[in-house]
Structure 1
Amino acid sequence: MVDTGKILVIGANGQLGVELTEALVRQYGEDQVIPSDINPSNQANFIELDMLDADHLRAVVREKNVQTIYLLAALLSATGEKKPLLAWRINMDGLLNVLELAREGVIRQIFWPSSIAVFGETTPKVNTPQETIISPDTMYGITKLAGERLAAYYAAKFGVDIRSLRYPGLIGYRALPGGGTTDYAVDIYHKAIAGEKFHCFLAADTRLPLMYMSDAVRATLELMQAPANKITIRSSYNLAGFSCTPAEITTAIQQHVPDFQIEYQPDFRQQIADSWPESIDDRLAQQDWGWQAQVNLEEMTLDMLKNLSQRKKAAVETTFSSK
């Protein structure tokens, strides 16, 4: 029997990392999945790991017989604008450390996420194609573009099996927002459940591509399980869920929480959002490995409100029982 080795998730505490780690555990078993992050966690088999420490990363990979790495850790768009040099160091050096392990044959496969942030003001806004003008206007987008080119380079020159998705804004209830420009679309649901007015940092009509976390996790697993000969894009695949505005999310929430209120207070993140596409053409992902989004805005809203309400109720009951 071929030893497929273990799976290391770097950035397992993040919004995507929490849910992807759980999905990997369900699919491959708890013993096969090693969550890691620079911050502590109570996840099973968890390892505290700084991906910028190449020697420690290599030691963990060898000791645990890791063959697949999901490299999710990154400094996101809004935070990256405040700390651009740190964003470059974290987003680029971490990727290079992992790519080098693959080049040397220490690991077999890498998943690394890109983003719609690679696109810029000169990119076509509607149904943005896979191959188009790519001119990012943020440090986060610049690091993702550089990462895409590194991925394609290592795949072509060294045969590295790296796979990537250009995620739209990801929405989930399991973890709090982490410094991204589409984080409003997570926080808005938290405020609705808390009965609070939401102050939105984007204008009401700002249309952006979004995706519910369950679709993002499924897309990631489907891409990684696809036969290598089906993967025609080694930089990063366009990926689409649905597109909407803050006003449309508000209307969807008010179908269930009629008293919910929102106030629009655009800040520096508006300029970032204005440079991104409104919608994405992901036909290549559909053709190559059968991708198809499942969750729309209304379904996401219902699920977000239901789960956040249940979590709030559980937290209140825990607080009450501990008194």
Structure 2
Amino acid sequence: MKKILITGACGQIGTELTHTLRKVYGVENVVATNIRGGNNESVEKDGIFELLDVTDYNRLLELMKKYEIDTVMNLAALLSAVGENNPQLLWDVNMNGLYNCLEAARETGAMVFTPSSIAAFGPTTPPDFTPQDTIQRPTTIYGVSKVAGELLCDYYFQKFGVDTRGVRFPGLISYSALPGGGTTDYAVHIYYEALKNKKFTCNLNSETYMDMMYMPDAIDSIIQICEADGSKLIHRNAFNITAMSFCPVDIMNEIKKHIPEFEMDYNVDPIKQNIANSWPNSLDDSCARAEWNWNPKYNLESMTIDMLEKLKIKLEL
């Protein structure tokens, strides 16, 4: 990677990815883009920033040629819970945006990284230690778009030789930017509320297990797979990756080790609960470990310590 363009750079993943890539590859070699400005000062002011609606192919191609881009990291997307309220918009952004990235990469010779998700699985998928290759029949439009995206990326690699790469992210937890409407968002908001109010109302059932990952590991995974030897990648567009699996009770108990007075109650959101019920409890990421040496650094205990420390500073507590 020499010249990188990030779509959706002001989102939860994009914010931290942009900062990290600017440090690793140089500010002048990272082009951050977003559909609108004015909502993420550090991304917009600390390096190259351009407005881009990923569904606008001509604008995307213009920027790729202008900056001589060799790697596109396509993060522009609507998430699971938001998508259920507007499936047509999700399909337009997630699928047509990806199609444009692949077409532009076909013309310019760039690599394309696109994240898939645990949402690519469904209620008929084996729920525990879910295999890399297994049944994928999701019941959300977000999940359907992710399965279609995995297949489309495979097609562009096989048909046109576009160097496509991707991982299936679990729920992501970050102190830097708030999430944007995903089913696993509770695992971010719980830390904020624990510090500010010592109380949190969870919108999932207490025993709802899902795979999760701390954002520093997620950022590392993107860089690692993009820098990996392509000849060794068998499952190049949809690697299972994970770091930990827990339920709301587990994260509550971990927080209480540091904030003993913390309390949690429940007000279950039926839409998010149904989505969570359709996803695996845990993933088998052995293929990622074998093919590009994936190895996360954080577990629930170490993540909780770091989240609380960083948020105290951020919230000036």
**Do both proteins adopt the same fold according to a TM-score greater than 0.5, normalized to the shorter chain?**
yes
Contact 1:38 1:49 in 2 (8 A): yes
Q: CA deviation at 1:308?
A: 0.5
Q: Structure 2: how far apart are the matches of 1:90 and 1:119?
A: 20
1:14 paired residue number: 11
Distance in 2 (CA, whole Å) between partners of 1:58 and 1:235 is: 22
CA contact (8 A) 1:155 1:234 kept: no
Q: Of residues 269, 272, 282 in structure 2, which corresponds to 1:269? A: 272
Take 1:231 and 1:220, find their aligned partners in 2: how far apart are those partners? Answer: 14
Matched letter for residue 163 of structure 1: R
5 Å matches for 1:56-135?
A: 56-104=59-107, 106-135=108-137
Aligned structure 1 segments of 4 or more residues deviating by more than 6 angstroms: none
Q: Offset at 1:197?
A: 2.1
Once the two structures are TM-superposed, the CA of residue 196 in structure 1 deviates from its matched residue by 4.5
Matched residues in 1 for 2:135 and 2:2: separation?
39
Q: How does 1:199-214 map to 2 (within 5 A)?
A: 199-214=201-216
3-state SS of 1:285 partner: helix
2:122 partner letter = G
* 1:46-97 residue CA offsets vs partner (Å, 9 max, x unmatched): 1111111111111111111111110011000000001111111110000000
The 5 A counterparts of 1:217-296 are 217-267=219-269, 268-296=271-299
In structure 2, what is the Cα distance between the partners aligned to 1:21 and 1:45?
Answer: 10
Q: Percent identity?
A: 46
Partner of residue 23 from structure 2, selected from 9, 23, 26 = 26
Amino acid at match of 1:15: Q
| SS in structure 1 at match of 2:315 | helix
Q: TM-score, normalised by structure 1?
A: 0.94
After superposition, what is the alpha-carbon deviation per residue over 1:215-235, rounded to whole angstroms, capped at 9, x for unaligned?
Answer: 111111111100110111133
The aligned runs of 1:277-316 (5 Å cut-off) are 277-313=280-316
Q: Deviations over 1:130-152 (max 9, x none)?
A: 11010001000000000000001
Preserved CA contact (<8 Å) 1:243 1:279: yes
Deviates further, 248-257 or 58-67: 58-67
Q: Deviations for 1:84-135, whole angstroms, at most 9, x for unmatched residues?
A: 111111100000000001222x142111000000000000000000110100
2:41 is equivalent to residue 38 of structure 1: no
Distance, in Å, in 2 between the alignment partners of 1:288 and 1:235 is: 12
Aligned to 1:146: 148
Worse overlay, 285-294 or 188-197: 188-197
Which digits, 9 at most, give the CA deviation of each residue in 1:246-303, with x for residues without a partner?
A: 0100000011111111111111200000000000001110110111121000111111
Which amino acid is the alignment partner of residue 162 of structure 1?
T
Aligned match of 1:165: 167
* Partner Cα separation in structure 2 for residue 219 and residue 253 of structure 1: 26
SS of the counterpart of 2:70?
strand
Match of 1:47 in 2: 50
Does the CA contact (< 8 Å) of 2:109 and 2:162 recur in 1? no
Gaps of 5+ in 1: 317-323
Q: Do 2:57 and 2:104's aligned partners in 1 also have CA atoms closer than 8 Å?
A: no
SS at match of 1:198: strand
SS in 2 for 1:66: coil
TM, length-normalised to structure 2 = 0.96
Contact 1:5-1:65 at 8 Å conserved across structures: no
> Do the aligned partners of 1:209 and 1:243 also contact (CA within 8 Å) in 2?
yes
Distance in structure 1 (CA, Å) of the matches to 2:290 and 2:192:
36
Deviation at 1:5, TM superposition (A): 4.8
Q: Distance in 1 between matches of 2:123 and 2:233?
A: 29
1:194 alignment counterpart: 196
**In 1, Cα distance between the equivalents of 2:213 and 2:171?**
6
Tell me if the contact between 2:204 and 2:268 (Cα under 8 Å) persists in the aligned partners.
yes
